[in-house]
Structure 1
Amino acid sequence: MGPYQNAKYTEIDGCDICYVDEGEGPVLLLVHGLGGSMTNWTPTIEHFSRTHRVVALDLPGHGRSSIPDGDAGVELFARAVRGLLSRLGIEKVSIAGNSMGGLLSMYLALEHAEMIENLVLVDSAGGHSFPGALGLALRRLPARWLRKMVLFFVAVVPRYRPLYRVAGVYILNEYTRVLLDEATGTAQRPDVDRYMDWYVSSARMALGVCYAGRCGEITRPTLLVWGQKDMGVPLKVGQSLNMLINGSYLVAIPRAAHVPQLDQPELFNAAVERFLAAGEAVSAGRPEQAQAAEVDAPERNALTVG
C-alpha cells in the first residue's frame, strides 16, 4: 500500500486530488513526475515524516487523482498544488520535484517564490529542450500512435532487466519494483484510453517547456540531485542547471537513474536532509547551525556521494 494507506481526498478545481499529510515540523512538499504517483516518494515520506510535515500528492490525471477535462498544462498542475496547500492552511514549503515534478517546482519558484522556502530538483525536466527525435515524435506523431507506443513500452520494459534503465530504474529493490508494477498495470486501468490521452498531453507539455533561460531568476536556496546513470535526463542537464541557478548545489548519486530517491533512498535522503537543515537553520536565525549543516561541495558546488 505504501503511502496510500493514509491517503485522503479533496476536490480542487473539480478534480479529486489524492494526497497524504504526515508528520509535524517544517513542511516538505513532494511532487512526482510524468506517469508517476506519490509512491515514487515512499522512502522519502517514511524518512522525513519523522522530522517534517510531509505533503505528497498525485497530480491531476495521475495515480488515484481524477483526470481533468481538456489538456494538461503547468498552470493546471500548479493550481492543484497551490489549492491543496491552501486547503491545508500551508503558506510556505520546501519543495522537492522529480522529473516533470521538478519542472512544476521550478515554475512555482519562478512565479510564486513567496511560497517556496527551499527548492530541490531531482533529475528535473524543464532545464533543457528536446530538439531531437523524441521531441519531434511528441510534436508530430498522432496521439493514437503515441498511446500505442507508451502502452507497448510499459508492457515490455518491466520484464527485461536490461531495459530497466530505459524506464528510469537502475537498482531493482522493493521501491523500484512498485514503480515498475504500476507501469505494467497501466494497460489494466478501466479508463486506460482517457488516461493515455492525458499522459500524452502531459508528456507534450513537460517536454515542450524549458526554463533554462529564466534560471537566473530563481532566488530560493536550491539543491539539484541527479542519478549518475539517468538516460532520459542525463547528469549534464543537472550540471548545466547548477551553473545557471545562483548558489545552487549539485549532488550526483551513483548507481541511480531517473528516480534516485528510489534507487538509492539512503543516499538521497541524507543529501536532502543536510540541505534542508542548513536552510531551516537560516530561517530560524541560527547561522552557526546552517554553516555546520551546509552541503560541502567543491568545484562550483558539485558533489558525488556514496
Structure 2
Amino acid sequence: MDFVLKEQNGFSYIDEGEGEVLLLLHGLMGALSNWDETVNYFKPNYRVIIPMLPIYDLPLLTTGVKSVSKFVHKFVKYKKLKDFTIIGNSLGGHVGLIYVLAHPGFAKAMVLTGSSGLYENAFGGTFPRRESYDFVREKVEFTFYDPKTATKELVDDVFKTINDRHRVVRILAMARSAIRHNMKDDLHKIHIPVGLIWGKNDKVTPPEVAVEFHEMLPKSDLVWIDHCGHAPMMEQPAEFNEALKEFLNKQKI
C-alpha cells in the first residue's frame, strides 16, 4: 500500500483524490490494502476514503456489526461527508447495510461485493487447528477462485491475527454478531440504488446470496464476475473497477 495513512481524532484512514466521495469498508479480516487497485483507479476522478474499522479495538461486550456501524457514522460526521457512495466487501457490506438503514440521507448509493448479511460460509464459530499454518493457508485460499491470490504475505497476516488471543476473541464475537443480525427482513426498507458486484465462484457468500439480495432490495443491479471468489476487488480488479464505474455513471444520469 503506497497511500498515506492519516491519523486524526482517533481515526485511521486513507483519503485520496478529490470530488464525489466513495467510502470503502473492508471485511472482517480484510485490510485497507485490499482496495489498492480500486483507489488507484478512481482517485483521479473521485475522493476515495477508507477508514480502518475498529474490529479489534471495541470492548468485547460491544463488539458487533451495529457498533462498527455507529463508528462509521462518527467518522462520516467528523469528515462532514454527504451524498457519498458506500462500498463494502464481506463484513464491510453488512456494516454498510446497517448504516444506511440507521442513517438515511447520508449515502446516496451503495455497492455490495461478497457481502454478509444473509448467509456466510466462513471459518465458522471456532478456529480449529489455528496453530497449523497449512490449515490457515487452505482457509485463505478458500476465499479466492485462484488459490495463487492467497499470497504468502496474506496468509502470514491471517495466521498472525488468528493466533493473537485478543484479536481472535473479537473476530469470533464479530462473526457471531453478523449471524445474529440477519438483514432479510430489513432489505425492503433500503430505497437507495444498490450495485451488487459478485464473484461467480464465491464460496463464502455464494451466488445464491447475491440473487437473494437482488430480489429483496428495491433498487438493485447485479453484475457477475467470472473466475472470481469472495473479494472481486482483489482477485479481478480490472473487471470490478469497470463494473463499479458503470454503476457510478448510472447514478449521474
Same fold (TM over 0.5): yes
> In the alignment, does 2:150 pair up with 1:156?
no
2:82 aligned counterpart, secondary structure = coil
Which range is displaced more, 168-177 or 79-88?
Answer: 168-177
Distance 2:79 2:175 in 1: 29
Structure 1 stretches lacking a partner, 5+ long: 139-145, 282-289, 291-306
Does the aligned pair in 2 maintain the 1:120–1:225 contact within 8 Å?
yes
- Other-structure match for 2:233: 261
**Deviation per residue, 1:158-187 (Å, 9 max, x gap):** 656xx6542x12236678665334213326
Distance 1:40 1:157 in 2: 22
TM-score (norm 1): 0.75
**Deviation per residue, 1:194-247 (Å, 9 max, x gap):** 111111111111122211111111100110111111111101010111011113
Which range is displaced more, 76-85 or 173-182?
Answer: 173-182
- Other-structure match for 2:70: 79
> In the alignment, does 2:109 pair up with 1:118?
yes
- Other-structure match for 2:82: 91
Question: 1:144-293, aligned counterparts within 5 Å?
Answer: 146=126, 148-149=127-128, 151-152=130-131, 155-157=133-135, 159=137, 164-166=140-142, 168-171=143-146, 178-186=153-161, 192-279=164-251, 281=252, 290=253
- Other-structure match for 1:287: none
Per-residue deviation, 1:18? 1.8
Distance 1:58 1:176 in 2: 22
Per-residue deviation, 1:78? 1.3
Distance 1:172 1:178 in 2: 13
Distance 1:24 1:175 in 2: 32
Distance 1:22 1:76 in 2: 26
Structure with the higher fraction of residues in helix conformation: 1
> In the alignment, does 2:41 pair up with 1:69?
no
Residues 200 and 87 from structure 1, CA distance in 2 versus in 1: closer, same or farther, beyond 3 angstroms?
Answer: same
Distance 1:243 1:176 in 2: 35
Residues 43 and 129 from structure 1, CA distance in 2 versus in 1: closer, same or farther, beyond 3 angstroms?
Answer: closer
- Other-structure match for 1:127: 118
Structure 2 stretches lacking a partner, 5+ long: none
Distance 1:177 1:47 in 2: 25
Does the aligned pair in 1 maintain the 2:22–2:48 contact within 8 Å?
yes
- Other-structure match for 2:41: 47
Does the aligned pair in 1 maintain the 2:225–2:239 contact within 8 Å?
yes
Residues 211 and 159 from structure 1, CA distance in 2 versus in 1: closer, same or farther, beyond 3 angstroms?
Answer: closer
Distance 1:129 1:47 in 2: 29
Per-residue deviation, 1:120? 0.2
**Deviation per residue, 1:17-72 (Å, 9 max, x gap):** 3211110010000001111121121111111111110110221035xxxx122331
Distance 1:178 1:278 in 2: 37
Does the aligned pair in 2 maintain the 1:151–1:186 contact within 8 Å?
no
Distance 1:210 1:176 in 2: 32
Distance 1:225 1:214 in 2: 20
Does the aligned pair in 2 maintain the 1:73–1:202 contact within 8 Å?
yes
Residues 17 and 211 from structure 1, CA distance in 2 versus in 1: closer, same or farther, beyond 3 angstroms?
Answer: same
Residues 129 and 37 from structure 1, CA distance in 2 versus in 1: closer, same or farther, beyond 3 angstroms?
Answer: closer
Distance 2:87 2:152 in 1: 22
**Deviation per residue, 1:86-114 (Å, 9 max, x gap):** 22221231010011111111111212121
AA paired with 2:188? Answer: G
AA paired with 1:233? Answer: T
TM-score (norm 2): 0.90
**Deviation per residue, 1:246-280 (Å, 9 max, x gap):** 1311111101101011010000000001101111x
Indicate the RMSD between aligned Cα atoms, in angstroms. Answer: 2.4
